[in-house]
């Protein structure tokens, strides 16, 4: 995407977010291509600042399509920065490794690393192979708590495809603590190659937020409190052709009393 078009896309996202402060979904269009993003945090009733955090579930949905029926550009990566009023807590949570997940189906992966499972989702991919009519396939996604190199939390995303042959897709996801401004964590997701390079993702959906008992209390992988009436996520979808779509998403929250 040329720089002026990138600026138009970014401006559209910022204007929409500013004028719809309680909305948490947005669609950006550049030419025939559109990208829709949604972020939702549950529950919406959360403690006030200074009154601790409670477990939450964060659902993220990214869709890609075109208005003219053409093949969309291939999604290369997703980056999210997460509200500083939320925390990631992995204390006492089992971990899983890439080596343990290699060659597994979705069911085998969840059986092998069930204790480390912190989220699930779905990916839908459009495949345009030479000599075949375009078709799509859907893969379940699993997100496992990964090792902590340098003390930083990580995730391992697990997917599975059967075209052109059965194959396990594993994506290590880096989670970095950041400071300053509205956000507290940055999550970088590099998309795998689908269908030997002939696949273009149409949907990436994830629901993250496992809970467990610790010291007689229920604690979550994600925990948060409410400040300013919202939890906020900023996401950027980048494509192999250079296009970049930034969006700012908010999920409303309030505190009791």
The pTM score is 0.89
pLDDT of residue 24: 55
pLDDT of residue 105: 98
- CB proximity list for 71: less than 8 A, separation 6 or greater: 126, 128, 134, 200
Distance CA 53, CA 238 (A): 32
The three-state secondary structure class of 13 is helix
- Strand 244-252 and strand 33-42: the pairing is unpaired
| Site of tokens 């977010």 | 17
Q: What does the pLDDT average to over 169-180?
A: 94
Q: Is the per-residue pLDDT at 7 higher than 60?
A: no
Of residues 83, 99, 43, 95, the one with CA closest to residue 250 = 83
Q: What does the pLDDT average to over 90-113?
A: 97
Q: What is the average pLDDT score of the chain?
A: 89
- pLDDT per residue over 182-229, tens digit each? 999 999 999 999 999 999 999 999 999 999 999 899 999 999 999 999
Percent of the chain with pLDDT over 70: 90
């Amino acid at each position: 995407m040329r720089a002026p078009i990138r600026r138009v896309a970014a401006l559209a996202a910022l204007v929409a977010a500013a004028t719809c402060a309680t909305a948490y979904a947005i669609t950006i269009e550049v030419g025939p291509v559109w990208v829709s993003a949604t972020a939702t945090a549950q529950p919406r009733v959360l403690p006030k600042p200074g009154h601790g955090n409670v477990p939450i579930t964060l659902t993220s949905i990214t869709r890609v399509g075109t208005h003219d029926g053409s093949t969309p550009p291939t999604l290369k990566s997703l980056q999210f920065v997460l509200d500083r009023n939320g925390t990631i807590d992995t204390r006492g949570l089992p971990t899983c490794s890439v080596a343990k997940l290699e060659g597994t189906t979705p069911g085998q992966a969840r059986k092998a690393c069930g204790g480390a499972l912190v989220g699930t989702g779905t990916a839908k991919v459009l495949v345009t192979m030479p000599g075949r009519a375009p078709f799509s396939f859907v893969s379940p996604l699993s997100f496992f708590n990964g090792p902590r190199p340098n003390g930083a939390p990580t995730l391992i995303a697990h997917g599975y495809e059967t075209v052109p042959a059965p194959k396990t897709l594993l994506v290590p996801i880096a989670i970095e603590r950041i400071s300053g401004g509205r956000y507290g964590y940055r999550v970088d997701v590099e998309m795998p190659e689908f269908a030997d390079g002939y696949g273009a993702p149409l949907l990436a959906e994830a629901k993250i937020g496992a809970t467990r008992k610790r010291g007689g209390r229920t604690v979550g992988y994600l925990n948060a409190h409410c400040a300013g009436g919202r939890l906020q996520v900023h996401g950027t979808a980048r494509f192999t052709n250079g296009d970049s779509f930034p969006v700012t998403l908010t999920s409303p929250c309030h505190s009791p009393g």
